[in-house]
Structure 1
Amino acid sequence: MTDGVARDEGVLIVGAGPTGLTLAIELARRGAGVRIVDAAPVPHRESRGKGLQPRTLEVLEDIGITERVLAAGTTRLPFRKYFDGAHVNDTDPFAEARPTPDAPYERGVLIGQWQVERLLRERLAEFGIAVESGTEVTGFEQDEDGVTAFLADGGHIRAGHLVGCDGGRSRVRKALGVRFDGTTDETQSMVVGDVEAEGISRDVWHQWFASDGAGVMLCPMPGTNSFQFQSGPELDADGEPLPPSLESFQRIFERYAGVPGVTLTDPTWLSVWRVNVRMADRLRVGRVLLAGDAAHIHPIAGGLGMNTGIQDAYNLGWKLALTTAGRADAGLLDTYEEERLPVAAWTLGISTDLYARVREAVREPGTGVEAAAPPPMGTGYRWSSLARSSLAHASTSDATTVSAPAVGDPAVLRPGDRAPDAPCLDAAGDPVRLFQVYADPRFTLLGFGAEVAGAVGKLGVEHEGLVQAFAIDGGDLRDHEGHARRAYGVTGPALVLVRPDNHIALLTRDPDEVTDYLSRIVLITPKE
């Protein structure tokens, strides 16, 4: 297959996992040209990464599939722990968690990765785009005008940019010559797979552990008859790991679970997982970028992999769309690496620590895997060059109108932080949440107070294709319970500019600062 794509008119995504699919949707809903290819001839049906975190649910709400995810998965699955064959306890680490006005998702969702990918493909199809399956990219060349990707069938695809979302063994990353720094511990491995098991309750996540530090876990996968099986590998007479098989799974289960009469059947996925802690040293080389597992891989604990990749794509999508449309210089793409590499490093560190805690927890009868429940993700990008506080331009007497946080204070909203949700009323008096407002792919400008309502309307007209503007209590939205003001730390007239990926761009009172901010990262007049 041979295509010609002119400069900056399209993006080729290599890899149709959660990262690549999310990026394709983000580009498509902004009108950017996009093609997504995958070497596999058909989609897989493997549970793999099986959890979506609350911040990821916010991201997926923005692109339009969270309701479908919640319908397909489950948010409540207690952990049932056994130790040396005896039942120890049933626990739910999120039993006391409740949604709040600024954070509507108090817990994550258990759902198979293949189900997430199916829902993302369905959403992408609503934009008229399908994954080009069985299309293997073997290499590429880039020049000043674009990238030419070479295919296994002898064809090629020409695009303005190429994004490698092709997993931990990424061919795109290797072709770029990007280092993948870190370690692989061959002495620590796990066998995983999807099997069926009659006679085992599907109401809990079973965790059988033994005093020798080993064990087996069976997690029921929602919407299926299967369980995800996890265990250390069975060893041969020389102490070497045996390859995963249904027979070895059965022997491991019988040894540690001690549940008579249960036979594991119908394996649809058998695999080995090894402890990898690696990260790319760069995320962009010219017109080629990396995202998801192609850029970082880490221990399985905490379920952070699929989530981090989706959030990579969410950060990159709007920046790539503006760049390919000629609305921003390519320098905007540098902020993708600036913002996401530190997050990748944090994820590697925290997931490695969580994995160590899991291994320690299984040796203690009174604890379990829930002791290593992951911390929240999506804490923001305060360090970014796109995060800017306007308070340096304000007088001391003015500084009370928007909270002035101390550097590093997580309790006070700052530029770069995740934009909170809040219930409001629209112009017709109907309930609407800020997250619903933010689902528009543009920047969002909120104006608090009658004093700035006129400026909000003017800015919205001046930057119509780039910004949607709302006067709070000025006719567009009503903060009828004060949740928006509390969430954003507003005590007087204020302008809040929210990025397309729902992070705070600017907190100010000066309309000129809004225009100044946009002009620093976006070309107000599109390129011809």
Structure 2
Amino acid sequence: MELNSVKETDVLVVGAGPTGLALACDLARRGVRALVVEQSDALFPGSRGKGIQPRTMEVLDDLGVVDAVLASGGTAPVGMVWQNGARQGEHDMFERPGPTDSAPYGEPWLLPQWRTQQILHARLTELGGSVAFGTALTGITQDEHGVSAELSTGTVRAAYAVAADGGRSTVRRALGIAMSGEDVDPAPMLVADVRIPTLDRLNWHVFPGDGAGYLAVCPLPGTDDFQLVGQCTDGEPDISPAGVRALVAARTHLTADEVTEILLASDFRPRAAMAERFREGRVFLAGDAAHVHSPAGGQGLNTSVQDAYNLGWKLGQVLRHGAPGSLLDTYEEERLPVAAQMLGLSTRIHRGEEQRGAATMQLGLGYRGGPLASGSAGALEAGDRAPDGPLPGGRRLFDLFRGPHFTLLAVGTDAELPLLEGELVHVHRVEAYEPYGKGLFLVRPDGYVGWAGEDTTGLSDYLAKVTRC
């Protein structure tokens, strides 16, 4: 964008982290013009949000990038506890139920955040989108028709804007939306990407610390790097290369010289906080701009990407398919309770009050009783996640869902189906399948059952709320 130019777009996305990039990919495949602006000159280079939960893997599957994610990452290694330079035994930090027909991604997947962002950025480029790097937002105003944003490179006019610019969100502050919360841990943390050639990559190495604060060193799949996370109970972290090496030497059997490279280091205080609202007029908050998590349990990036996934299809329906503007009200109504639930979970895990388990995988999250959940049939209630499953010819239900459309599934029933024109709703009949039972199920573009019934009573009324068919 040329300096002092005025640009028009459908959606302004502020921030090119996982949230902003996932949202931009979703909007691009819906034919929605999105301008993504990023204050930094390049994508974030660190590994911080390295754990991708099974539900987020399903989102990445739908966005068309799961093959790259699988090729670049790996399963989380089993923890190895060390004491006085000796291995004390393995401790697995995760439940690993394994893949099933209904849930094909059976455990957390490790991938450095920088690589996740590279993959999403490449997908955005493939879809015809781009990121304006080195572009800072300096002011934002709105009226009943749209949003005007002042950028370091000029002015942008958009129908809507989304703040995906992190926990210190410039947009949130400009809107005057308060964020309240608490420090999860009084001790600050150091996180660094390092190389330690003498340390094996078979385990996630944990050094309890004997009161001085723990240290964990996790091999990052697809790289030669480790992510180092250290608790600093005796003062502020020293994030200089010498400080990182000194911490390793003090807490482990390794010498400072064995840390051959420090690629990136930063400090933070584990905090749980949430914005008082996720929307102000035509501006929405998503990801860390709306909620900040402790890293324990790996909920932050995952909850954030799913914010984008929830908001993207709704913006698409309103901007491209004639859905009423009230559909956008459901973003906060659905996502704020989920964010609060995940904040509580990550805080309890950090404090040792709860173990990582099924809840951290996020497959059980849903929108039952919400504004876009109507009816029940068979084994499912509206608002539930729509399970995957095998189909004849080697296909799967997720193959039917993949894309920006709704999917009307007739499962094990010969109930009469409506004639739906266009590409907004795809209709399929499949055999009875236990995770669904029998009935009709309208699967939203984000993979949740929106409407369910034994016949089509109420289906047309539901569709009128979410699209113009």
- Structure 1 residue 18 corresponds to structure 2 residue 18: yes
Identity %: 40
Alpha-carbon distance between aligned partners in 2 of 1:196 and 1:94, rounded to the nearest angstrom: 25
- Structure 1 residue 383 corresponds to structure 2 residue 330: no
Q: CA deviation at 1:372?
A: 4.0
Q: In 2, are the aligned partners of 1:217 and 1:229 still within 8 Å (CA)? A: yes
> CA 1:471–1:45 in 2, change beyond 3 Å: closer, same or farther?
same
Alpha-carbon distance between aligned partners in 1 of 2:389 and 2:62, rounded to the nearest angstrom: 15
Cα RMSD between the aligned structures?
Answer: 2.0
Residue 520 of structure 1 is aligned with which of 443, 465, 469? 465
> CA 1:450–1:226 in 2, change beyond 3 Å: closer, same or farther?
closer
SS in 2 for 1:187: coil
Alpha-carbon distance between aligned partners in 2 of 1:213 and 1:107, rounded to the nearest angstrom: 32
Alpha-carbon distance between aligned partners in 2 of 1:213 and 1:58, rounded to the nearest angstrom: 40
Alpha-carbon distance between aligned partners in 2 of 1:112 and 1:311, rounded to the nearest angstrom: 18
- Structure 1 residue 459 corresponds to structure 2 residue 419: yes
Q: In 1, are the aligned partners of 2:95 and 2:107 still within 8 Å (CA)? A: no
Deviations 1:348-390 (A, max 9, x none): 11111000018xx9xxxxxxxxx54563214101131111116
Q: In 2, are the aligned partners of 1:304 and 1:347 still within 8 Å (CA)? A: yes
Q: CA deviation at 1:144?
A: 1.4
Alpha-carbon distance between aligned partners in 2 of 1:137 and 1:301, rounded to the nearest angstrom: 31
Q: CA deviation at 1:50?
A: 0.8
Alpha-carbon distance between aligned partners in 1 of 2:264 and 2:186, rounded to the nearest angstrom: 23
Q: How many residues align?
A: 464
Return the letter of the residue paired with 2:25: I
Q: CA deviation at 1:4?
A: 4.2
Residue 317 of structure 1 is aligned with which of 292, 298, 312? 312
Alpha-carbon distance between aligned partners in 2 of 1:264 and 1:318, rounded to the nearest angstrom: 45
Q: CA deviation at 1:210?
A: 3.1
Deviations 1:126-159 (A, max 9, x none): 1111111111111111111111110124x11111
Counterparts of residues 323-472 of structure 1 (less than 5 Å): 323-357=318-352, 371-372=355-356, 375-378=360-363, 379-389=365-375, 402-403=377-378, 412-425=379-392, 430-449=393-412, 451-452=414-415, 455-456=416-417, 458-461=418-421, 464-472=422-430
Q: In 2, are the aligned partners of 1:318 and 1:501 still within 8 Å (CA)? A: yes
Alpha-carbon distance between aligned partners in 2 of 1:4 and 1:255, rounded to the nearest angstrom: 54
Counterparts of residues 57-456 of structure 1 (less than 5 Å): 57-93=57-93, 97-153=97-153, 155-184=154-183, 187-212=186-211, 214-233=213-232, 235=234, 240-259=235-254, 263-357=258-352, 371-372=355-356, 375-378=360-363, 379-389=365-375, 402-403=377-378, 412-425=379-392, 430-449=393-412, 451-452=414-415, 455-456=416-417
Alpha-carbon distance between aligned partners in 2 of 1:185 and 1:521, rounded to the nearest angstrom: 39
- Structure 1 residue 501 corresponds to structure 2 residue 449: no
Return the letter of the residue paired with 1:381: Y
Alpha-carbon distance between aligned partners in 1 of 2:150 and 2:95, rounded to the nearest angstrom: 51
Alpha-carbon distance between aligned partners in 2 of 1:169 and 1:93, rounded to the nearest angstrom: 30
> CA 1:499–1:73 in 2, change beyond 3 Å: closer, same or farther?
same
Q: CA deviation at 1:248?
A: 1.9
Alpha-carbon distance between aligned partners in 2 of 1:327 and 1:273, rounded to the nearest angstrom: 44
Q: In 2, are the aligned partners of 1:15 and 1:166 still within 8 Å (CA)? A: yes
Q: In 1, are the aligned partners of 2:248 and 2:255 still within 8 Å (CA)? A: no
Counterparts of residues 17-36 of structure 1 (less than 5 Å): 17-36=17-36
Q: CA deviation at 1:211?
A: 2.7
Alpha-carbon distance between aligned partners in 2 of 1:295 and 1:242, rounded to the nearest angstrom: 27
Deviates more, 1:204-213 or 1:85-94: 85-94
Alpha-carbon distance between aligned partners in 2 of 1:225 and 1:346, rounded to the nearest angstrom: 35
Q: In 2, are the aligned partners of 1:102 and 1:487 still within 8 Å (CA)? A: yes
SS in 1 for 2:271: strand
Deviates more, 1:371-380 or 1:224-233: 371-380
Q: In 2, are the aligned partners of 1:246 and 1:265 still within 8 Å (CA)? A: no
Unpaired runs of at least 5, structure 2: none
Residue 436 of structure 2 is aligned with which of 480, 488, 505? 488
**Rg (Cα) greater in structure:** 1
Q: In 2, are the aligned partners of 1:191 and 1:273 still within 8 Å (CA)? A: yes
TM-score, normalised relative to structure 1: 0.84
Deviations 1:234-277 (A, max 9, x none): 74xxxx32431222222221222113585213212111120211
Q: CA deviation at 1:99?
A: 1.2
- Structure 1 residue 3 corresponds to structure 2 residue 37: no
Return the letter of the residue paired with 1:435: F
Q: CA deviation at 1:341?
A: 0.2
Return the letter of the residue paired with 2:238: P
SS in 1 for 2:270: strand
Alpha-carbon distance between aligned partners in 2 of 1:270 and 1:432, rounded to the nearest angstrom: 44
Deviates more, 1:113-122 or 1:274-283: 274-283
Which residue is equivalent to 1:408?
none
Alpha-carbon distance between aligned partners in 1 of 2:330 and 2:105, rounded to the nearest angstrom: 28
> CA 1:346–1:241 in 2, change beyond 3 Å: closer, same or farther?
same
